[in-house]
Amino acid sequence: QVQLVESGGGLVQAGDSLRISCAASGRTFSTYVMGWFRQAPGKEREFVAAITWSRGPTFYAGSVKGRFTISRDNAKNTVYLQMNSLKPEDTAVYYCAAKTSSVGLVTLNYDYWGQGTQVTVSA
């Protein structure tokens, strides 16, 4: 069983940067593939980024590629999402998720989910 707790969300202006974090419980964090998803009001939850077990590889949605960076610190059981050049359309609740398989990284088929952290980008 893995528990995930996101933090670091907030209100920023367009063009700003923000780093959100996801702390995971358990001693097997390094064996999980980690992903970030987001859900804007009235929209479906969508894939943002994923990282496999150690230092990569990493995967990104086209809308964030080049602006967002996913990373992980297995010693701290934490995965990060560094978000640069934020846009109002990045406004959403951001969720981290964990799974043991690397199959279907961009789908919602993850085993564990956090409660989410709100990111709001003003124009």
The pLDDT score that the predictor gives to residue 102 is 86
Rounded to whole angstroms, the Cα distance separating 66 from 58 reads 12
Element (H, E) at 60: strand 58-60
- 83 CB contacts (<8 Å, ≥6 apart)? 17, 18, 19, 20, 64, 67, 68, 90, 119
The pLDDT score that the predictor gives to residue 61 is 97
- pLDDT, mean over the chain: 94
pLDDT in tens, 60-91: 999 999 999 999 999 999 999 999 999 999 99
